[in-house]
Amino acid sequence: MEQGLGPPAAVLSASGPPERSTPPRRRLGDVVFFWLCRGAALAVVLIFILLGVFLVIEAWPAIRSTGWDFFRSTEWNPQTDQYGALAFIFGTLATSAIALAIAVPLGVGTAVFLAEIAPRWIRTPGSFLVELLAAIPSVVYGFWGLMFLAPVVQNLFDLMGQVIPGLKVPNTGGMGIFTAGLVLAVMVLPYVAAVSFDVCRAVPRSQADAALALGATRWHMIWTVILPYARPGIIGGCFLALGRALGETMAVTMLIGNRPEINFSLFAVGDSIASVIANQLNEAETDLQRAALVELGLILLLVTVAVNVLARVLIWRVSEVRSARGWLDWLRRRNRTVLEREATANGRPTVTVPRQPRRLARVTDRIMTGILACCLAISIGPLLLILGYILYRGIGALNWDFFTKLPAPAGEPGGGLAHAMLGSLMLVGLATAFAVPLAILSAVHLAEYRNSRLGPVVRFINELLGGVPSIVIGIFAYALLVRPLGHFSGWAGAFALGVMMIPIVMRTTEEALKMVPDSLRNASLALGATTWQTILRVTLPAALPAVLTGVFLGISRIAGETAPLLLTAYNSNYWPESPSQPTPFLPYYIFYYSRSGYAEWERQAWAAALVLLAVVMVINVSVRMLMGQRVLLASRAD
């Protein structure tokens, strides 16, 4: 006889009703994997906390010794132990102000043109080319500015001296605060453009269409609907660019003149916080001088963190639902119809005739369209100039010796930088091996264990870590590894690069994991897989293309870094044998050879710049074309 449905025989007891089942315990593998991911997330938080703690500890002797005079004095004299930061603060603010004054109008105009006016065949390559500006290493910007832009600026100043009677123009070779601000503007422009483009595209199309339906021209619609709605996000992008400008080191160091003085002249030279740290920390004569330099780094850290927090709050506000009723009411009032009352003998009702757009409005629309198109052309122009000029000067300097030999003594022909290319490869490889597992495990914790209260804290800290200037990370690695060990090393350099790489890989991996459908996870769990098996065998493989995108973008970000390696790996003129020793790297020779005054070394600097730029560009172009993902570069501030 067939038995009906009922509990399994194993559950029935001989003497009574079936026993109540208990939920299964979490398997050991899931517990271990969870705590591994949580430990990685906590490690990111710990790195940021240690960064601040070490800076405070190292700077404390100067804080105690100088007090508030550190911010009021311009005297910087290691011989008399007098340290005042006012001149460096002035130089940092002056170059950043010049950069924003140029980059913000161009960046916003470029973003508006690409988002609202440009056809698709212009929008896609245009946004791609503007974003490539952020991929150029800062030392390449500085080298191009030193060799190409500075002479142009000096000629412009000389022309002004000839045209304006009585104007005294100093011969600084074009170097100074103004030139540094120009190059800095090109460097931060893609951050303003990328964020502004995204927030303009986030404006509901119904509002724009309503404005056009009420009779507004396209420029009128942009001015009264798009820009007011996107204003908080645009301001946030400007603050992100400001954070990037405040912490820039190499380009400013090579162009600002490195003279600690306050001068409001257009031709003035000066110094900045980041540049004085890069120039003096390794050669600090006393502990107090070293502490004063670290205090400058602490100031830079606090300012950039505050600026980045404010920027992200403003960008976050754009995601809130906002009403444009007030703007639309204003448009209705501006486009109010004119009632033409034609009294007729037979008493016909009045006829409402809409007012036609004014000729001035149409002319204004065409003029502004042309101006916005020029913003895009001007924004792309520096990219083409840099790529073309470095290709022109560098291609003739490449030869077989450059890729196979060690440097020749000063003034002698021949030699190469093979050891520096090998050292850069070693440093990037070690940094990747350190950063990628930590970043991926942390991203898994954020994306797969979303109920954890630790998640928002880790995500916030990661955003702040991504905005820390590279020179500050270099100071952290210097205090953590170089000073205790008593010597420079590749390990310290790789650690600094790894800390810079973590936020990029972590952010892209988290977003990639969130894009994986939950149905894949549920199907894996339903088939009996554990949580850690599902993550490693289903979720991560599904997100692998985007994860690799983040890894390669992180590699391209650190491949051209110079400032933190000056304080950690330092340099060597010999083949790198072990990471425990000072390690050569290619950007160092671009920085050092460009200011040497030897024609042969300058020639090799052009070759090194071409090789470095080619590697970085190939990585960025390949990632964006093959992976098919548009990456928001303003979300990464160093």
- pLDDT band per the 50, 70, 90 thresholds, residue 167: confident
Q: Would you say residue 3 has pLDDT above 60?
A: no
pLDDT tens digits, 583-622: 999 999 999 998 888 888 999 999 999 999 999 988 888 8
Query: For the chain, what is the mean pLDDT?
Result: 84
Q: What percent of the chain has pLDDT over 70?
A: 87
Contact criterion met (CB below 8 Å) for 596 and 415: no
CA distances from 635 to 41, 169, 191, 399, 437 (A): 19, 40, 8, 39, 21
The whole-number average pLDDT for the span 495-503 is 96
Q: Would you say residue 263 has pLDDT above 70?
A: yes
Residue 627: what pLDDT? 58
C-alpha Rg value of the chain to the nearest Å: 29
Residue 548: what pLDDT? 87
- pLDDT band per the 50, 70, 90 thresholds, residue 358: low
- Per-position b or e across 579-591, b if 16+ CB within 10 A of its CB: bebbbbbbbbbbb
pLDDT tens digits, 271-280: 999 999 999 9
Q: Using CA atoms, how far apart are residues 69 and 75, in angstroms rounded to an integer?
A: 10
Q: Using CA atoms, how far apart are residues 448 and 224, in angstroms rounded to an integer?
A: 42
Scan for tokens 């422009």, then name that residue. Answer: 189
The least confident of 17-21, 400-404, 508-512 is 17-21
Could you tell me the end-to-end alpha-carbon distance of the chain, in angstroms, rounded to an integer?
78
Q: Would you say residue 339 has pLDDT above 70?
A: no
**Is the pLDDT higher at 586 or at 320?**
586
Contact criterion met (CB below 8 Å) for 107 and 237: yes
Q: Which tokens go with 448? A: 């797969």
The whole-number average pLDDT for the span 483-503 is 94
- pLDDT band per the 50, 70, 90 thresholds, residue 408: confident
List the one residue out of 424, 399, 396 whose CA is nearest residue 414: 399
The least confident of 208-212, 258-262, 329-333, 433-437 is 329-333
What is 29-67+398-638's CATH number? 1.10.3720.10
**One-letter-per-residue 3-state SS of 463-530:** HHHHCCCHHHHHHHHHHHHHHHHCCCCHHHHHHHHHHHHHHHHHHHHHHHHHCCCHHHHHHHHHCCCC
All residues at 6 or more sequence positions from 439 whose CB lies less than 8 Å from its CB, including other chains: 40, 501, 502, 503, 504, 505, 506, 509, 550, 554
DSSP states of 79-98? TTTEE--HHHHHHHHHHHHH
List the one residue out of 516, 568, 566, 567 whose CA is nearest residue 542: 516
Residue 300: what pLDDT? 93
**Is the pLDDT higher at 107 or at 237?**
107
Contact criterion met (CB below 8 Å) for 462 and 41: no
Q: Would you say residue 216 has pLDDT above 70?
A: yes
- What residue segments make up the domains of the chain, in order of their start? 29-67+398-638
Residue 325: what pLDDT? 44
| One-letter amino acid for residue 2 of the chain | E
Q: What percent of the chain has pLDDT over 90?
A: 50
pLDDT tens digits, 568-583: 999 999 999 899 999 9
